[in-house]
Copies of this chain bind each other. A is one copy, B any other.
Amino acid sequence: MSDPSAPKTSPGNFFEDFRLGQQIHHATPRTVGSGDAALYQGLFGPRFAVQSSDVFAKGLGYARAPLDDLLVFHVVFGKTVPDISLNAVANLGYADCRFLKPVYPGATLNAVSEVTGLRENSNRKSGIVYVRSRGFDATGEPVLDYARWVMVRKRDEAAPAPPAKVPELPKAVEPAQLGAACPPIDGKAYDNVLAGSPYRFGDYHAGERIDHVDGITVEEAEHMIATRLYQNTARIHFNQFAESQGRFGRRLIYGGHAISLARALSFNGLANAFHVAAINGGRHVAPLFAGGTVFAWSEVLATAELPGRRDVGALRLRTVATKDRPCPDFPYKDGDEYDPAVILDLDYWVLMPR
């Protein structure tokens, strides 16, 4: 079945290795447990009560404290790296990311990607690969579903390219699609004091901006421990010997690390936003390196009721993370140009009790 004379290391896939409609089953299945949750806690410091306390979560209607949504995202995403983006030139974006089922410690996660679009670049050196990736638990039910597109090198510039196909992707997840990973919540059991804020869904309005105040400095050991925890093998995060000769002269921090830091910082102002229900899109505007201090602010882009649910409402947020720049004045863009301190521009939906 396999060629014993072939090199046994995987070089990753190049642009011409992908086929439209191809299904890629990713290695390695991973049981994610309370140890992973503890390490995630130590690395990012989130304080949302639902993910912190079995008792609090059970009181609301969860089986126990679920894993942090972003930990689930990072573990699923990590699985796709060896097959999708080992030869990526750039991570261009993701969209239509929906959390579909609460994931509890002990769940075993797998990931499968489908190639949904391919478009060679005009220079013929690379092309854009669009995938839809899904994470599943051991029951085979999906826990996460998202679209992503990356620019991937060609192995051979002369290789023929398939006809261009670019999938349509929504600008934002519809409110009706939110909440599958959130069981019906007993709002009376939701204790604002224990959760850390009196502000619920009805207290927020579109256009409101919140400075999350605090900053967290990142160390090399931290981002590498996190990224290995997710079994993400992107080389640029781990190998100082190679990167010292690379584009930045140093290890680049996994973009998801900034997302998790921004989410943890957002507790200060959004303490009752207990669940990330969807990610509409995200852009890693600038690289983050060890030694940088991450700050964040958020704008409420919209508020939405969930059809058929009176327990929770959704806030569509833009959370902007910066490095080495506090955010009391909400730095973002000057015209089309991002403020040079901005590293992350994330558009997502969170749920709050009503």
Measured CB to CB, the residues of A under 8 A from B are 1-2, 4, 7-10, 25, 27-31, 33-39, 41-45, 47-49, 52-56, 65, 82, 106, 108, 110, 138, 193-200, 202-205, 210-217, 219-222, 224-229, 231, 233, 235, 238-242, 251, 268-271, 291, 293, 295, 324-326
Q: List 8 additional A-B contacts (Cβ < 8 Å) besides A8-B203, A36-B38.
A: A2-B199, A2-B200, A27-B49, A27-B196, A36-B41, A41-B229, A47-B231, A52-B231
Contact B4 A204 (CB under 8 A): yes
**Smallest Cβ distance from A24 to chain B, in angstroms?**
9
Contact B221 A239 (CB under 8 A): no
Chosen A-B contacts, 20 in total, with CB atoms closer than 8 Å, are A4-B202, A8-B204, A9-B211, A27-B193, A28-B49, A28-B52, A28-B53, A29-B49, A31-B52, A31-B55, A39-B39, A42-B225, A47-B233, A52-B231, A110-B194, A214-B235, A215-B239, A220-B221, A222-B225, A242-B293
Contacts of A45 in B (CB 8 A): 227-229, 231, 233
Which residue from chain B places its CB closest to the CB of A323 in the assembled complex? Answer: B241
Contacts of A231 in B (CB 8 A): 41, 45, 47, 52
Contact A217 B240 (CB under 8 A): yes
Known: A38-B38, A293-B241. A195 touches B2 (CB 8 A): no
Contact of A9 (CB < 8 Å), options: B41, B213, B233: B213
Which residue from chain B places its CB closest to the CB of A325 in the assembled complex? Answer: B241
Q: Which 6 pairs between the two chains have the least Cβ-Cβ distance?
A: A35-B38, A45-B228, A27-B196, A35-B35, A241-B293, A29-B53
Contacts of A36 in B (CB 8 A): 35, 38, 41
Contact B27 A198 (CB under 8 A): no
Contact A8 B241 (CB under 8 A): no
**Which of A33, A45, A110, A325 has its CB near the most chain B CB atoms (within 10 A)?**
A45
Contact B220 A239 (CB under 8 A): no
| Bound complex: CA A227 to CA B41 (Å) | 10
**Smallest Cβ distance from A111 to chain B, in angstroms?**
10
| Bound complex: CA A306 to CA B275 (Å) | 49
Contact B28 A33 (CB under 8 A): no
**Smallest Cβ distance from A275 to chain B, in angstroms?**
15
Contact of A194 (CB < 8 Å), options: B29, B54, B251: B29
Contact A29 B47 (CB under 8 A): no
Contacts of A44 in B (CB 8 A): 228
Contact A238 B217 (CB under 8 A): yes
Known: A35-B37, A199-B8, A233-B214. A43 touches B225 (CB 8 A): yes
Contacts of A1 in B (CB 8 A): 198
| Bound complex: CA A324 to CA B240 (Å) | 9
| Bound complex: CA A268 to CA B225 (Å) | 19
Known: A47-B28, A198-B2. A108 touches B8 (CB 8 A): no
Contacts of A212 in B (CB 8 A): 9
